Structure 1
Amino acid sequence: MDVKGRGVLVTGGASGIGASVVRRLSLAGARVAIIDRDADGANRIADEVAGLALVGDVADPDIMPMFTSVVEDRFGRLDIVFLNAGTVGGQPGTSELDVEHYRRVVGVNVDHVVYGLSTAVPALRRAGGGTVIATASLAGLLPLASDPIYTLTKHAVVGYVRAAGATLAEEGIRVCALCPGFADTPLIAEQRDQFGEFPLLTADDVAGAVEAILDHGQGGEAWYVQPGREPGPYGFRGVPGPGSGARPPALKWGS
């Protein structure tokens, strides 16, 4: 995909995977805006790539609409949205529950993806189509026993993308999920020593998978990324339907 001159919005772009994607797409000629709570980090990366830094909390329902509008006005169009901001669950979630922290995790990992996609779609329509990539995780495809809440949120992202992608593809809007394994980024900094010799992805490995999705990804796909393997769409097994063989109706909601 030729990204030269395209308008790009990246959440969580001040470090790790987000920053690597910002650098790659900027180098390829895209005009990139970064949303992050880390003002210093966002401004540093924006200065590096002559991009636009926007400081805010993506879990706030007002942030994505406001900044999407800013980006569209500044760049004249919005073509690619990388909904990458995320956080770990940090608690078992099966006995004592820190409700405030739980709501924070859901707000960043799930709500921000919904806010981001629903806000981006009208802008992408105005541009004649585009791509939205939401960072999930292998925990969106498989259970991560050490973090059930994180697993819950990433399964939600994968399910949302698969359902939304099928409909939006008809309008030339691709929606895909990115499902990397463990990556050596600030997200796992406190647990880094526990991995020992276990192979970790680099942020640039994952950014390469983003480029691959932009090149030939299809709407509704969830792409796995693992060390030593080429990234690709995960093949979901079909679920048995009714014994009668009847297909479910295509329901329409609202008036």
Structure 2
Amino acid sequence: MMDLTDKVALVTGGASGIGAAASRRLAGAGAHVVVADRDGDAAELVAGEIGGTARVADVTDPEAVTALVEAAEGVRGHLDVVLLNAGITSGQSGIADLDLAGYRAIMGVNLDHVVFGLTAAVPALRRAGGGRIVAIASLAGLVPMPGDALYTASKHAVVGYVRSAAPVLAPEGIVVNAVCPGFADTPLIARAKEQFGDFPLLTAEDVATAVEAVLERGEPGECWFVQPGREPAPYGFRGVPGPKGAGAPPPVDWETGRSGRRS
């Protein structure tokens, strides 16, 4: 079990689904969790359950994200863990049709929020002497999802951003990772859930378990995939050399779920 006693964690999109499950997991490990969400009432419910702090924030607004980080750091004078979890789907193909407002919205939540969150959090983590940043990406950040090209684009961008930022921050003791789950039974897919039929879905708890594993032993720049029935593991970007110092992940056999990492 990870030990986050006396640590402060910030979770965006923390009022439901993966964010709520991860908030509970972090609190269970001893952290004081700041649950941030656009739904203030739902954030209050989760924060009240775990003894944390609720904050309302628009994660597409850089000033609001900076204020959120400052508020989290102010709880106990330091910030140690940041989980950038907020995300949406596009609801359009983004190929033959393009609703510009919808495009801006998905990029604002899925990508801009990660960039704003990381840049706002880094000074606080430096003041704390280091820390962890985890972005919730998607399996669609590693492989294409033809049904939603815009979602795929946003999550590929998150994966690339994490892998590029990690080697820059690692020497300062700030470890940056991504978690890339497959389809999970959360409010994000609620409208389309019946279309999945018997297709196996992850639970929010499955993804929270992966977040815990990454916080415990993830190396800088690793992007861990999460699939039903398999242990979470770093994705191997085969044939693509990782940046020097990025802690490039070992290859993963998708049939066995095994990687070259030593246990």
Aligned to 2:187: 186
Aligned to 2:250: none
Q: Quick one: which amino acid aligns to residue 99 of structure 1?
A: L
Please give the secondary structure, in 2, of the residue aligned with 1:145. Answer: coil
Q: Quick one: which amino acid aligns to residue 112 of structure 2?
A: D
Aligned to 2:28: 27
Output aligned runs, 1:26-45, within 5 Å: 26-45=27-46
Give, in whole Å, the separation in 1 of the partners of 2:176 and 2:64: 21
Aligned to 1:138: 139
Give, in whole Å, the separation in 2 of the partners of 1:96 and 1:151: 16
Output aligned runs, 1:92-171, within 5 Å: 92-171=93-172
CA drift at 1:230: 0.3
Please give the secondary structure, in 2, of the residue aligned with 1:124. Answer: helix
Aligned to 2:13: 12
**Identity between Structure 1 and Structure 2 (%):** 60
Aligned to 1:199: 200
Give, in whole Å, the separation in 2 of the partners of 1:160 and 1:202: 26
CA drift at 1:146: 0.3
Aligned to 2:224: 223
* Residues 149-204 of structure 1: per-residue CA shift (max 9 Å, x gap): 00000000000000001111111100000100000000000011111111100000
CA drift at 1:120: 0.5
CA drift at 1:96: 2.4
Indicate the RMSD between aligned Cα atoms, in angstroms.
1.3
CA drift at 1:111: 0.3
CA drift at 1:40: 1.2
Q: Which runs of 5+ in 1 are unaligned?
A: 241-246, 249-255
Aligned to 1:253: none
Aligned to 2:260: none
TM-score normalised by structure 2 residue count: 0.90
Give, in whole Å, the separation in 2 of the partners of 1:159 and 1:94: 22
Aligned to 1:252: none
Higher Cα Rg: structure 1 or 2?
Answer: 1
* Residues 99-121 of structure 1: per-residue CA shift (max 9 Å, x gap): 01110100000000000000101
* Residues 32-84 of structure 1: per-residue CA shift (max 9 Å, x gap): 00110111110110111111110121011111100100111112110000000
When the two structures are aligned, how many residues end up with a matched partner? 242
Q: Quick one: which amino acid aligns to residue 84 of structure 1?
A: N
CA drift at 1:239: 3.7
Give, in whole Å, the separation in 2 of the partners of 1:63 and 1:100: 20
Q: Quick one: which amino acid aligns to residue 159 of structure 1?
A: G
Give, in whole Å, the separation in 2 of the partners of 1:237 and 1:168: 24
Please give the secondary structure, in 2, of the residue aligned with 1:53. Answer: strand
Please give the secondary structure, in 2, of the residue aligned with 1:62. Answer: helix
Give, in whole Å, the separation in 2 of the partners of 1:45 and 1:232: 28
Give, in whole Å, the separation in 2 of the partners of 1:22 and 1:239: 34
TM-score normalised by structure 1 residue count: 0.93
Give, in whole Å, the separation in 2 of the partners of 1:2 and 1:27: 9
